[in-house]
Amino acid sequence: MAKTPQEREQLRQARVTARTAAQTPLVGPAGAAVASIILPGLGQILSRQTQRGVLILSAMATSVGIFAWRIAELGRRVDGFGATILRALERRPGFVALVAVVLALVWLVAAWDAYRCSRDRRRPTTGIFALVLAGFFVLGWQIAEIDVVKLVREAPEALPPLSRVMWPWAAAVEYEEQAVTAGADVLAGEGPAPERAPQVEGEPYLLVEPNVGQMTTQDEDFRPVPGTRITLTGTGFTPNTETEIWWEDPVGNEFRPREDGEYLIVTTDEQGSFQLEMTMPYRLTPPSAEGPFIHRVEARQISTVGPPRPSEALRLTISRMIETIFMGMMATFFGIIFSIPVSFLAARNIMSGSRITMAIYFLTRTILNIIRSIEPLIWALIAVVWVGLGPFAGIVALTLHSIAALGKLYSEAIEGIDAGPIEAIQATGANRLQTIMFGVIPQMISPFISFSIYRWDINVRMSTVIGLVGGGGIGFLLVQYIRLLDYRSAGIAVWFIAITVATLDYVSAEIRNRLM
Amino acid sequence: MLEFKNLSKTYDDGTQALKDVSFSVEPGEFLVVIGLSGSGKSTLLRCTNRLIEPTSGSITWDGTDITNADSPTLRTIRRRIGMIFQHFNLVKRLSVMNNVLSGRLGYLDTWKSLLYRFEKTDRENAMRALQRVGLTEQAYKRASELSGGQQQRVGIARALMQEPQIILADEPVASLDPVLAHTILGYLERLNKEDGITVICSLHYLDLVQRYATKVIGLRDGRVVYRGTGEDIRRMTDAEFKEIYGEDAERVGAGPAAAATAPAVNTPEEAE
Ligand SMILES: Nc1ncnc2c1ncn2[C@@H]1O[C@H](COP(=O)(O)OP(=O)(O)O)[C@@H](O)[C@H]1O
Ligand SMILES: [Mg+2]
């Protein structure tokens, strides 16, 4: 209905009078400003802008409180109020000064705001809240220990492991190793020299000269007393190849001796020969052991032969990845089975019959909401306590979360069912079962499948991390590699997770698109 | 003959949607029910096949008491009463064919039908029904892909599969534009004239009522306030019309001459 301009003007006037009558400020503009200087927000409250006043007051109280706490933290270990502040200022001058300035600004603006509230009898702009937000931002920066400098400074350190994670494929394959070795016995202590093995034509041979001597030992002050120098001469090895020296003590323990802190390693010449001098190494021998002992020194050439084959890391990753996908699948499967009956209990249109059913509806909804609001990772922690480490714990956790999430989605699908087609099918003379098969299920099937696939997608994604807390799957392997600092193998796991999740994402989106 | 005697319906919330409604419908009639939105038209139609249980009164059909029929009998009654709806009420995700075939459900063995296994003759009949409404091309499309007018034609084909003696049509054209309204009502008229199917139809547009009705019933607040033949309604006065549509309703339909050529441009009450 059209109104004349005069009518409209009258209406506006009436509205203004009605409002101002109820909102006459209790104090004048100056009074309001003073009140807000004394207590930020008080002036606004006195100007009948209670909500605004309370908001300003609580924002100020919160930021001043947090600021005080941070100062106390920074000035820990000094006594006295002034000293604490000075210490804090000394440690983080920028932060303390900035926050103090912002707070003072907010304080002043709050007073100005109160002045305007009282004068104009209506809400001024929201600029003061932007200022409060800025204050919170500065506080948050300090509390969260944000450190951009560190981010840049540590980057070179992080680069090597990161590059291994990003391109880990060197560790994805391994080769069969072939060893060319020859060894000789060395006697430690006094006694007849051990018999030298005969040299065979075409076989590698190692000659140790002398082959009787003293091992390196320690004196009372644990200073090393060097052992006998021996010369190793190798012949008949593969030419131009790195050769490692190994030592085997009489007990049968092998180790690689070092000279000046470096492992002993030598490269053979054109003829496959080498010569090397070394000191007989230190070896802790049991006190009961006395007398001479036969040690053995060996020269080894390790070379790779044959085609590359998947490394253990790759094989483990693939098997864990399969485990992960199936974990996600089983959790989805159980989730679907249990959430179907639950979803009916959580559907308002089905449960609205009586008080009791409504009570069940609210109870079910509440429980579902609680279960859903707890992250699967936390459920996994609980499940690990419950059923122990391994994929089953992960499945239990994911199933619980799936029931809650799917129960909600399904119940919404049930609530969204159109009664019209059901009525139409009934009108044809169909019985109850036929009505369900023709009227209800076709309406449910597409959201049902779509939600289930979506959930499978989520569950596989979740099961890749659920291993972090011991729930099995590839996450379990990943943390182990990271703890062992085996970044290449960890990288392989990360790559597989990324590939699987991306593939699944695509497939599930594609299926859902077709269904829609 | 279908006879309504003192039919009343009170909903659980206390709404009295029908009050003491009595009338009868002869076989072959095209009965149009008119009345404002909320006057009880849908309730009346749904009581006829007991999608809604009447509170009191009775409906008898050729001597069979519909109101007291047990559920197997009710289903055999329902399968001879086709029904079409304002919002078509097709199962949108099923193919047009399956929607049409669902009209056979009342005749079929439960287990076979649950697996969507229909007899060959049923499929042939479904094709023929689609042919009658000009939709053979669309048979294997999903119902949701069809336009409103096409969906309503599928609704008619579904009703046809029931080999109905009566078709109930609850505002079948209220969601369609006026040109389509004539198409749909034209189909109903052909079924009425050629197959002798009794049609009970609620309508909003007075011109349509004047054009198609052989008998008219007017409802207001659940009471019958008007009875007349198609002839009567063509000669209807403003006073009589207001009696049905309420005081503030204006007569919208043009005279009989205009009604035949021009579709209605306005309705006394917004379509629900
Ligand atoms: N399920 C129901 N529960 C309660 N009241 C209803 C229900 N369905 C319809 N009504 C009421 O019954 C009256 C008649 O409705 P209806 O038969 O749909 O009228 P019409 O089809 O003529 O618009 C209206 O007042 C409506 O609000
Ligand atoms: Mg209606």
User: A491, A493, A474, A482: which is closest to A164 by C-alpha?
Assistant: A491
Q: How far is A440 from chain B (nearest CA, A)?
A: 9
Decide: A97 and A89 in contact? Cβ < 8 Å.
yes
Q: How many A from CA of B215 to the centre of ligand 2?
A: 19
- Indicate which ligand has the atom closest to the C-alpha of B269: 1
* Residues A461, A446: Cα–Cα separation, whole Å: 23
What the block records as the tokens of A387 is 């059923």
Single-letter code of the amino acid located at B232? D
Weakest-pLDDT range from A283-297, A428-442, A481-495: A283-297
User: Exposed, middle or buried, B9 (CB in 10 Å: 0-12/13-18/19+)?
Assistant: buried
Looking at residue B247, its pLDDT comes to 59
Give SS3 for A140.
Answer: helix
- The reported pLDDT for the residue numbered A499 is 93
Q: Which H or E element spans position A388? A: none
Distance CA A208, CA A277 (A): 10
**From the CA of B171, how far away is ligand 2's center (Å)?**
7
**Alpha-carbon Rg of chain A, whole angstroms?**
39
Alpha carbons B152 and B158: distance in angstroms, whole number: 10
Q: Which of A199-208, A233-242, A417-426 has the highest mean pLDDT?
A: A417-426
CA-CA distance, B172 to B155, in Å (whole number)? 10
Rounded to 5°, angle at Cα B42 from B39 and B48: 120
| Contact: B94, A443; criterion CB under 8 Å | no
Residue B129 exposure: Cα atoms within 13 Å on the Cβ side: 28
Contact B81 A427 (CB under 8 A): yes
Tell me the three-class secondary structure of chain B, residue by residue.
Answer: CEEEEEEEEECCCCCEEEEEEEEEECCCCEEEEEECCCCCHHHHHHHHCCCCCCCEEEEEECCEECCCCCHHHHHHHHCCEEEECCCCCCCCCCEHHHHHHHHHHHHCCHHHHHCCCCCHHHHHHHHHHHHHCCCHHHCCCEHHHCCHHHHHHHHHHHHHHCCCCEEEEECCCCCCCHHHHHHHHHHHHHHHHHCCCEEEEECCCHHHHHHHCCEEEEEECCEEEEEEEHHHHHCCCHHHHHHHHCCCCCCCCCCHHHHHHCCCCCCCCCCC
pLDDT-above-90 percentage for chain B = 69
In A394-500, beta strands by DSSP E: none
Average pLDDT of the segment spanning A213-229 = 86
pLDDT value at residue B65: 94
Only one residue has tokens 């593939």, namely: A503
* Lookup: tokens for A120: 């104009």
Report pLDDT digits (tens) over A363-384. Answer: 999 999 999 999 999 999 999 9
Q: Which residues pair with B56 in a beta bridge?
A: B8
Contact B192, B6 (CB under 8 A): no
Q: What are residue B199's DSSP bridge partners?
A: B30, B167
Hey, what amino acid is at B122?
D
Q: Write out chain B residues lying below 8 Å of A437, CB-based.
A: 113-114
The token pair that represents A395 in the structure block: 């499945």
Q: Are B8 and B19 in contact (CB under 8 A)?
A: yes
Higher pLDDT, B186 or A222: B186
The mean per-residue pLDDT over the stretch B27-49 comes to 93
Q: Are B48 and B200 in contact (CB under 8 A)?
A: yes
pLDDT given for residue A160 in this prediction? 85
- For residue A458, the tally of other CB atoms under 10 A from its CB is 20
**CB neighbourhood size of A162 (10 A):** 13
CB B106 within 8 A of CB B90: no
Query: Is the per-residue pLDDT at B261 higher than 50?
Result: no
Measured between beta carbons, which residues in chain A are less than 8 angstroms from residue B102?
Answer: 425, 428, 430, 438
Considering only CA atoms, which of A381, A412, A407 is closest in space to residue A394? A381
B162–chain A nearest CA distance, Å: 7
Question: Which of B34, B43, B47, B48 has the most ligand 1 atoms within 8 A of CB, as the residue to mutate?
Answer: B43
Could you give the CA distance from residue B41 to residue B111 in angstroms, rounded to a whole number?
A: 36
Interchain contact, B158 vs A443, CB within 8 Å: no
Q: Are A220 and A193 in contact (CB under 8 A)?
A: no
Q: Do residues A280 and A332 touch, judged by C-beta distance below 8 A?
A: no
Contact, A382 vs A397, CB < 8 A?
A: yes
- Mean of the per-residue pLDDT values of chain B: 87
The two structure tokens encoding residue B107: 């005749």
List, in order of start, the domains of chain A with CATH numbers: 26-146 (no CATH), 173-310 (2.60.40), 312-515 (1.10.3720.10)
Q: Does ligand 1 lie within 6 Å of residue B56's CB atom?
A: no
What is the residue whose two structure tokens read 């009342």? B106
* Ligand 1 proximity of B10 Cβ (cutoff 6 Å): no
| A493 confidence band (pLDDT: 50, 70, 90) | very high
Work out the pLDDT band at B263, boundaries 50, 70, 90: very low
Query: Under the phi-then-psi rule, with left for phi > 0, alpha for psi from -120 to 50, and beta for the rest, what region is A209?
Result: beta
* A352 touching B (Cβ < 8 Å): no
Task: Count CA within 13 A, CB hemisphere, residue A220.
Answer: 0
Structure tokens at A47: 């100007």
The helix-helix angle for A127-143 and A50-74 (nearest 10°) equals 20
Nearest to A463 by CA among A319, A318, A334, A329: A329
pLDDT category at A171 given cuts 50, 70, 90 is: confident
Q: Which residues of B touch A438 (CB under 8 A)?
A: 91, 94, 98, 102, 105
- Cβ pairs bridging A and B (under 8 Å): 84
**CB-based contact (8 Å) between A58 and chain B?**
no
> What is each CA distance from A362 to A97, A347, A359, B125, in whole angstroms?
52, 10, 5, 48
Q: What is the DSSP string of A210-236?
A: S-EE--BEE-TT--EE---EEEEEEES
Q: Are A266 and A276 in contact (CB under 8 A)?
A: yes
Mean pLDDT of A54-63: 89
Average pLDDT over residues A50-74: 87
Q: How long a stretch of residues is chain A? A: 516
- Of the pLDDT bands very low, low, confident and very high (cuts 50, 70, 90), residue B254 is very low
pTM for this model (two decimals): 0.65
Question: How much is the pLDDT for A1?
Answer: 47
Residue B249 has pLDDT above 70, yes or no: no
User: Could you tell me the domains of chain B?
Assistant: 2-80+165-271 (3.40.50.300), 93-163 (no CATH)
Residue labelled with tokens 């009989």: B256
Rounded CA-CA distance B115/A441 in Å is 12
What's the average model confidence in pLDDT over A491-509? 91
- Dihedral angle computed from the Cα positions of residues A366, A368, A369 and A375, in that order, rounded to the nearest 10 degrees: 150
pLDDT tens sequence across B153-167: 999 999 999 999 999
Q: Using the predicted structure, report yes or no on whether residue A304 has a pLDDT greater than 80.
A: no
pLDDT at A373: 94
Interface of A with B in 403-432 (CB under 8 A): 418, 420-421, 423-431
Neighbours of A294 (CB within 10 A): 15
* Per-residue pLDDT, B272: 35
Distance separating alpha carbons of residues A197 and A211, to the nearest angstrom: 12
Contact A310, A380 (CB under 8 A): no
8 A C-beta contact, residue A256 and residue A264: yes
End-to-end CA distance of chain B: give it in Å, rounded: 31
pLDDT at A22: 53
Is pLDDT at A18 greater than 80 in this prediction? Answer: no
Q: Please determine, for residue A12, whether its predicted confidence score (pLDDT) is greater than 80.
A: no
Confirm or reject: Cβ of B218 under 6 Å from ligand 1. Answer: no
Ligand 2 centroid distance, CA of B187 (Å):
21
**Beta carbons of B167 and B189 less than 8 angstroms apart:** no
Average pLDDT over residues A93-110: 87
Q: How confident is the model at residue A143 (pLDDT cuts 50, 70, 90)?
A: confident
pLDDT score for A289: 65
